[in-house]
Amino acid sequence: MHHEQLPKAEPGDNIGFNVRGIGKNDVKRGDVAGPADNKPTVAEEFTAQIVVLQHPSAITVGYTPVLHVHTAQVACTFTQLVKKMDPKTGAVKEENPQFLKTGDVAIVKLKPTRPLVIESAKEFPQLGRFAIRDMGSTVAAGMVLEVKAKNK
């Protein structure tokens, strides 16, 4: 299908397309296109539920790992550890914990260091799940619960 015009694309097809007025160097990894009447949300801050898979020490407020969301790779800062939860029952174990360690499930607030398009996992699963990587390994995985949109 490379350099071949098709009437439609099916799931699994790898396609390319051109948009008048946008050069190939204007589009970067992580850019998201969407309909004009329901534009993709650029996050000021977002709330997510994460599972800490493996971290050598503890995760605290101010920790800034790289989030891998869809094709974007953006550093995000932990601004608040809202609550620690029981992984089996989902019940709240601790409100406003001081740190998170390997095996913990928690609700956290994150702030991207540069513009990032992200959506709630309930509304748009493809843009609402992410991996947290640091020091060459996957530290945690998570899903977005709520997005505070950046004012345009």
Cβ atoms of 41 and 35 within 8 Å: the answer is: no
For residue 98, what pLDDT is reported?
95
pLDDT tens profile 24-35: 888 887 788 888
For residue 2, what pLDDT is reported?
64
Residue 127: closest CA among 67, 77, 54: 67
Residue entry with tokens 């409100």: 95
The ranges assigned to domains in the chain are 24-149
Residue entry with tokens 């920790």: 63
CA atoms within 13 A on the CB side of 13: 13
For residue 100, what pLDDT is reported?
95
Q: Which CATH superfamily is domain 24-149 in?
A: Translation factors (2.40.30.10)
Q: DSSP letter string over 41-77?
A: PBEEEEEEEEEE---SS-B-TT---EEEETTEEEEEE
pLDDT tens profile 74-124: 999 999 999 999 988 889 999 999 999 999 999 999 999 999 999 999 998
Residue 98: closest CA among 63, 67, 65, 131: 63
Instruction: Indicate the pTM of the whole model.
Output: 0.83
Task: Name the helix (H) or strand (E) containing 85.
Answer: strand 72-85
3-state secondary structure of 26: helix
pLDDT tens profile 15-25: 777 788 888 88
